[in-house]
Amino acid sequence: MNSLNIVKIGGSVLEEESSLQQFLDDFGRIEGPKILVHGGGTKATALSKELGIPVRMHEGRRITDAESLDVAVMVYAGLINKSLVARLQGQNCNAVGLTGADLNVIPASKRKPDSIDFGFVGDIETQEMNGYFISRLLDEGVVPVFCAITHDGDGQLLNTNADTIASSLCSLLSENYEVRLTYCMDVEGVMLDKYQPDTLFETLNSEQFHHYKQEGVIKDGMIPKLFNGFKALENGVHKVSIKHSKNLLNGTETALIS
Amino acid sequence: MNSLNIVKIGGSVLEEESSLQQFLDDFGRIEGPKILVHGGGTKATALSKELGIPVRMHEGRRITDAESLDVAVMVYAGLINKSLVARLQGQNCNAVGLTGADLNVIPASKRKPDSIDFGFVGDIETQEMNGYFISRLLDEGVVPVFCAITHDGDGQLLNTNADTIASSLCSLLSENYEVRLTYCMDVEGVMLDKYQPDTLFETLNSEQFHHYKQEGVIKDGMIPKLFNGFKALENGVHKVSIKHSKNLLNGTETALIS
């Protein structure tokens, strides 16, 4: 099978021009089929504030009312996605910027209100996804760039966590490719002490994940990322690693192992 | 040759929910390969105002500084484009939303400052465009939805008039398709008196265009639209018509003739 690299970026690398340029240069050097997935919550929060739209969170997850969804679509699918596409084109990387609504790649279900109503948030069922056009584009040397927007198949756009989009694309495409998923962050990987580089876990298995989560060493945004990563491994993804965006092309990382 | 319908919408149809729904229903009924091109200046102007960004115009054309470009990208490529894609998906029309940067379909040149600097505005050279992926997508039954954004091939997004994008796509694709271009507006076509439906020109030739332009009967936004339309006819486009968006499927229109 051909190998396929799926790289997810988010956080500060999208905010700092020099980091972003280095990342895009490195991403451009990855050979063979590749997909970029990006978040952009910081910029969406900034635009919401400028427009006087309250940003509501519940346990680290964004609550998406109609106005917040418009902001998410403008920032993720518009500003960030198309800027990345133009910059990749500028380095002769033939990119196409997509939401999950485009080509109906990622249909999702609006999350049912439980104790909390998350609003226009979409949950993905991998078996509903459509990989045909993505495979065709990859075969033609095109680089799909996905943002954190899906749709309900009935005309409604939905907001979906970018880490989840990345791991879902991995599961979808692992039938036809040897998929490597890389979550780029602004830390080197999973560390016992984030200020001590020598405490980096070079590998992490599921038991260690649960142990260190209980100990409070692994916390916040790292938890859903690792959860998605181990799920991708279970679904046949060849390799999942977590690394700093500046280390895209070298081996400093935490590799998840089953 | 296969026929291909390229339909451009803009103005009030994008603002009024019932008109938009009727238009999308009608658009969905067009058989065979088709492309939708849209503007969205009204929404971009509204967002600029909300953000306190001054809207500057020169002879009816928008001056696009860096902040205005970000607004244009958010509104055209994000909000409007992806909402249209989701709605088309909702009626089983497999749409993909694109700028001219995606798949490098429409490279453009930043307009050189002359007596006036229009800022980040792109002029298209049809011979630089790339029709390969659009033809492949059309062959697969996909409906491309283009917004009014292009790029300079060197990493910079640019703002480009949607009428021009529509006519350029027509010229590009007329080698392989019998292309029909429809400009949808909020008037029935070219009329001697816009309040008198019986003064509609059922056909209009280039000489009439120049005559009635000099007389001041044809004016404002209709002038660049007709200019683009006649240029498309010269470039081998099979049919160009101007009609009200509510008349997409019937014959009330002004057809341009050479």
Does pLDDT of A114 surpass 90? no
Number of folded domains in chain A?
1
Q: Specify the CATH number for the domain of residue B16.
A: 3.40.1160.10
Contact A75 B74 (CB under 8 A): yes
CB contact under 8 A, B79 and A82: no
CA distance B234 to chain A (A): 31
pLDDT reported for residue B117: 92
* Arithmetic mean of pLDDT, B3-30: 94
For residue A90, being part of any structural domain is answered with: yes
Quote the pLDDT of residue A124.
96
pLDDT of residue B59: 74
pLDDT at A59 over 80: no
| pLDDT tens-digit readout, A154-175 | 999 999 999 999 999 999 999 9
Which residues span the domain enclosing A36?
Answer: 2-184
Q: Which of A91, A109, A97, A96 is nearest to A28 (CA)?
A: A91
Strands (E), A176-238: 177-185, 203-205
Cα angle at B5 between B182 and B77, to 5 degrees?
A: 80
pLDDT tens-place string over residues A70-98: 999 999 999 999 999 999 999 999 999 99
| Residue A57 scores a pLDDT above 90 | no
Structural domain includes residue A72: yes
Cβ-based neighbour number of residue B59 at 10 Å: 5
Which residues 77-106 of A have a C-beta within 8 angstroms of B? 77-79, 81-83, 85-87, 89-91, 94-99, 101-104
Helix ranges restricted to H, chain B: 17-29, 41-50, 66-72, 81-90, 132-139, 162-173, 206-214, 222-234
- Record the tokens describing residue B115, joined without a space: 């007596």
Q: What percent of chain A has pLDDT over 90?
A: 85
Which pLDDT belongs to residue A201? 96
B181 interface with A at CB cutoff 8 Å = no
pLDDT digits (tens, 9 = 90+) for A120-157: 999 998 899 999 999 999 999 999 999 999 999 999 99
On whether the CB atoms of residues A162 and A10 are closer than 8 A, the answer is yes
CA distance, residue B250 to nearest chain A CA (Å) = 26
What amino acid occupies position B152?
A: D
Would you call A78 and B78 a contact, using CB atoms and an 8 Å cutoff?
yes
pLDDT of residue B221: 83
**Residue carrying the six token digits 């977590």:** A242
Q: Find, in chain A, the residue whose alpha carbon is nearest to that of B96.
A: A102
pLDDT for B197 equals 86
Nearest CA to CA, how far is A198 from chain B (Å)? Answer: 38
**How far from B15 is each of B20, B47, B79, B80, B112, CA to CA, in Å?**
8, 14, 12, 10, 33
Tell me how far apart the alpha carbons of residues B110 and B89 are, in angstroms, rounded to a whole number.
34
Closest chain A residue to B154, measured at CA: A90
Size of interface A-B (CB pairs under 8 A): 122
Mean pLDDT of B180-197: 92
pLDDT, tens digit, 9 for 90 and up, residues A174-223: 999 999 999 999 999 999 988 888 999 999 999 999 999 999 999 888 99
